[in-house]
Copies of this chain bind each other. A is one copy, B any other.
Amino acid sequence: MPMLETYPKSINLDRQKLAAAIDALIACGGACTACADACLSEDTVGELTKCIRTNLDCADVCAATARVLSRHTGYDANLSRALLEACVTACKSCGDECGRHAGHHEHCRICADACRSCEQACRDLLTAMG
């Protein structure tokens, strides 16, 4: 994200890992929103209710975290860390649940991949934060 390079003060984070996390969070949130709706339109929706719920949660948590990580004014490492941990939990849970349906539904396969990439990007940023 070239936007990150324009911030007028210093940023107390590895900019490359931060940009990777924000991009992954936004991509994951979009995939989860779309997967929830695709599941809702499957004839077997009754077997996908947990997947839909997990998708909706993951979309909300990723969107909020992407926003918080995009802010650097008066930076608070504790909140970033707590949210990244919540994202790891949400993405792990959603990646596992979508993974269960990946053989039947291509949207679940794509979404599981997005969740796993996002989980990894969040873990990488957490590690870089120390």
Contacts and interface: CB of A to CB of B under 8 A. Distances in A.
Contacts of A117: none
Nearest to A22: B30
A73 B40 CA distance: 7
A4 to B, nearest CB: 7
Interface string A59-93: 11101101110111110101100110110011001
B93 A3 contact: no
Interface of A: 1-9, 22, 26, 30-31, 33-38, 40-43, 45-46, 49-50, 52-54, 56-57, 59-61, 63-64, 66-68, 70-74, 76, 78-79, 82-83, 85-86, 89-90, 93, 97, 105-107, 110-111
